[in-house]
Structure 1
Amino acid sequence: MELARFLHGTRDSRTDGQTLTHGRAYEVFGAVFFGGRRRHVFTRLAELSGARPGDRALDVGCGTGYLTLHIADAVAPAGSVVGVDPSPDVLAHARRRAAGRTDCTFTDGIAEALPGPDGRFDVVVSSLMIHHLPEDVRARAVAEMHRVLRPGGRLLLADFRPPANPLARHLVGAVTGPVMEHNPVHLLAPLVADAGFTGIDAGDLHPWIHYVRATKPEQAA
């Protein structure tokens, strides 16, 4: 299935996950897939992340940088955001999109071995990335997000939520493949809890997004 391969990418030698290619085409698909609501959904995700002016933020699996730039707007004027992705093609697209901005940079990296020291960031976000990872890798990726957050830092995970209607879900699977048809977004909150996060809450954004928010506990006095 060509579209499924396009959406879920190819293998990267550093990771068991999938790497997206064809950044420009992925942007076109994203705009169509959200039915005109993409900007609204990602603006809301940036709000839900709790990103504030002056924050240092990280976008894991940033792809073409769509959410990254929304986060950059939220942390302006004194903050900064780094987008991490293993795909040279989508990183090149993201850098073109952010041309001229000094508050938004993009770097090569994988979710389960994030670049940067412990406690570097105030906010970590990730959208439409977790389903690209095999289930046995997802816990390592979330543990890495926990590691690079400062105590008290905020996490936002967002991923594709399959339709509740069985026929609609089957149609999604026919177009995009079984990964998205059966994406177990109900496991995101337990995954976050197991990584040591607290203050967990979850919700849905129409039409396709399930999100989980959480906080890294403050260090004991």
Structure 2
Amino acid sequence: MESRPDDYVPAAGRDWLLPLYDPVCHFVLRERRFKERLVEQIAPPDRGRVLDLGCGTATLTLMLQQRYPNAEIRGVDGDPKVLEVARRKVAAAGVRLELDRGLAYDLAYNDACFDRVVSSLVFHHLTPEHKRAAFREVKRILKPGGSLHVVDFGPPRSGIARFAARIFIRDQSLRDNFEGRLPEMMRGAGFAEVEECGRHVFFGGGLSFYCAR
């Protein structure tokens, strides 16, 4: 088994929690609803190339493949254990998908090779430095006219969400999200147009949709 960087954070926070990752996303975050919205948002060109950055267990990757069968869909994740789960799900679905091992802030892809990059619940795991590096990498691998589509924790806008944020804001990785710093980081990576294009609310918090070109 390949090793991970010492500061790598698994999808579920701890390896032993991995079996609970999909059920928690489904029941607590109402995953299907916000991922369907994200899938519709990206609208890749026919036969375009789409990268699911931090694909985790490939739930979103499979949804993208189903919605855009003429596109080339790839997933990449830094966790070999979560990729094992993802590959089993892809095999069970009977589709062909490329799932690569790689870190969001150090991608092995060529320059200007993807039309869309999509990311769900990844950036809050990254340190500020790794967030900035990841946005630079995404900008590098996007084709001219391509776009980045992100859904992740955003600034709290309800009493419950603000209370939860006060508990977790000591974590610098989460603080960037709660204090609304992702758009400025995207601009710093070279994206000229950045917008928060929607919200998804669940009990105890909310997710923000971002689009960057």
TM-score, normalised on structure 2? 0.82
Shift of 1:16: 3.7
Q: Secondary structure at the match of 2:193?
A: strand
Residues 204, 211 of structure 1: 8 Å contact kept:
yes
Unaligned runs of 5+ in 2: none
Q: CA deviation at 1:89?
A: 1.7
Q: Is the 8 A contact 2:124 2:174 kept in 1?
A: no
SS in 1 for 2:112: coil
Alpha-carbon distance change, 205 to 167 in structure 1, aligned in 2, over 3 angstroms: closer
Change (3 A) 1:118 1:181: closer
1:26 partner letter: Y
Aligned pair in 2 of structure 1 residues 111, 80: CA closer, same or farther (>3 Å)?
same
1:213 aligned to 2:205?
A: no
Q: Which residue of 2 aligns with 1:5?
A: none
Give the AA of the match of 2:200: H
Query: What's the CA shift for 1:151?
Result: 0.9
Runs of 4+ in structure 1 deviating by more than 6 angstroms, as ranges, are none
Q: Matched residue pairs, number?
A: 199
Residue deviations 1:143-189, cap 9 Å, x none? 00111111111111221135323444334665x78548743362111
- The whole-number CA distance in structure 2 between the counterparts of 1:164 and 1:12 is 35
Counterpart residue identity of residue 197, structure 2? G
Percent identity, please: 32
AA of the residue aligned to 2:212: A
188, 196, 206: which one aligns with 1:202: 196
2:71 pairs with one of 76, 79, 99: 79
Q: Specify the code of the residue in structure 2 equivalent to 1:187.
A: R
Q: CA RMSD in A?
A: 2.4
Cα separation, 1, equivalents of 2:159 and 2:61: 33
What amino acid is the match of 1:18? Answer: V
Tell me, in whole angstroms, the C-alpha distance in 1 between the residues paired with 2:174 and 2:72.
Answer: 35
2:4 equivalent to 1:19: no
Give the Cα–Cα distance (whole angstroms) in 1 for the partners of residues 68 and 48 of structure 2: 5
